[in-house]
Structure 1
């Protein structure tokens, strides 16, 4: 809007100046033509009725000896009479000055005058704010024979007109400036009115989340276009909520179906050797066998082992299926982590604590679970390494506790890094792949984070950040 007003003002101002200048020129020419016509008519009357001299070129100076001044004064213009060769015969200006071109008309003017169909030339020029309109025409006798050349020059001082034009432009400029300020004000309030509504919509859109309840936009005053946009957004929110509910239900059902398949598969694994053991014992059972007690003990041991595997599967599934309860108590982290490492007998585990004591409000049991799970994963990753090493470090970083568990194992391949924390994903030949997802749930329940860096063939580093409070 501002640019349009500015361009319109400049264009209107330019057109106004141009039109004013053209009208001034036209007015001066018309005024000069009227004076010229009156002068020529007076000269013709002087030649036909009042002169006593024969109408010849050499007598023109005598005929208009004194009369030329009267005609010049009456019509307020300058008059000069030349012979047919362009030589000055008589002038209304007693001292020839630069207002007249010369005492002799140039041959070009004479030639142009002869060739012109009307036998008349009109020229305009301007110098130092003064405009000059000059006409050349032939003086003829009663028989229409050419006896001389008449030059009529009208001098127009344009300084007053230019002054009026400047005053007019100044007034017009003030009007345009006032309009420009009004345009800026209107543009500001209009844009503020529009952008305020758009900003509200933008803020709501940025806050829109698929898995959260989104608020609809309510505007008390808005343009019809904005209202249409708001209605479209509110309709989208309704559809988004419906889609989110359907998607969540579908994801839950799919997740539990996949989990059920995994649990069923894991349970079937120990059932097969149990079945084979029972069938073998049934075929080979002999009450009179001297080693019957030893065989019965071996058979029982096999069944107990498989039952323990099934029990661990059920426990892992149960631990993952329920969110860890946030039990907060003041614990000394350094000693708790050391306690978690004491259950491992391997010499490959190194513990480094920069502080002697480090307190935080956490669940001691869940902290032990986090450490043992990460250390166990590190040991399993490095078990095929010639010299396996698992380093555990605890340090304080401001309002947080940092726990790092690193190993020199095989590392994690690039194509599976995004799946590490996914349920039922595992790179090991046994297990359900619920360990890392479970401790991730525990850490996030305390508003902490877990991340890792890994390089194939060199090892992996897991970093856990937990708040102290």
Structure 2
């Protein structure tokens, strides 16, 4: 990822340099691999040629011996006049002869590592040799950092009957080939070092030439601003792609000049539209509980009720409180300030939450009113707005046909006041969880989607936070937290 952050010029320079390095490494690797293949082929071919000549010498011994040619006389035949030692010395290769059961019969006294020769052949070698079509078995081994090839073949009489097993141990001496390889790699390294220097210089000038025009374009684009008149790019000698890019930029500048005024006008209109939507939403919030209060009063009004005056007072207080809220919103809008202005009032949160819930007549809203007082600093009006918004969202989240249940609770947690509102509604999908607080986002068929965003702004103004947990088809729990003291 860091490489992608480098300039194009640097990336071209690095790429060309790395390309030469990779080429040199690949050629060196192929050379070494080919050397190993050639060395192995050379040693196998050399051992095969020596084996053929030794077989010819052994056949000549068998033809000229005075002993009967059979398995029992093999040792005597080759010990006669030191013939096995002559063969070994003549071909510069140790010679070992085993009987057909794998027991060592005779070995030459050649200058060879003594313990590479076993006195008894592995039965696997005997069985494998017998099963091979050409009756020749080759084994590779390594000892004391030296590599060996051992060939096993039969010694036969004139009728091709096996008499014994011939073993020729061969030491792979790679010193000469290794020296040649190192010499070749040395010359190759010198050539590629020169090529690398040439490539570095070439990459430097080539990358500079390629990016010269791009740098000029980049500097001009970097100076482009919406609030000033921008210069067109004038470029001379450049490729077709660069000219296409420059023409596209110049066309964009022409369009940008034309749309700058329209954009400023559009932004002003959008800001006023957004403000109007917020005001409409905030005014609608108190209107709903006011309507519910009036409807409840109409439904429950009884002139003969001895508590009629107290109930009338409660209804009146609720309506006056909501009217005050609307009045503060209207004042804030007329003064072009934030709605409404923040006030730090010392109040009983439990009592204010209870007053906010009084406007709802639904009997499925559960709030334990016997809780002790929780004193904190908050704006009374804004706290009511927070509670009513959360409860309204909970009510609207419960689908038709389902027994609704809204639980509101207030408690202290680590010196913070917590207001918890839970419902058994449809829940919030994983896709929508990230959008809950976004302005204008809503899953309802009506409304402008400003409620939760506004609640979040209010709570954060008081150094608080709002979180939620939700399960689809099971419900949602919102938690509002804010400190007791600001």
TM-score, normalised by the number of residues in structure 2: 0.47
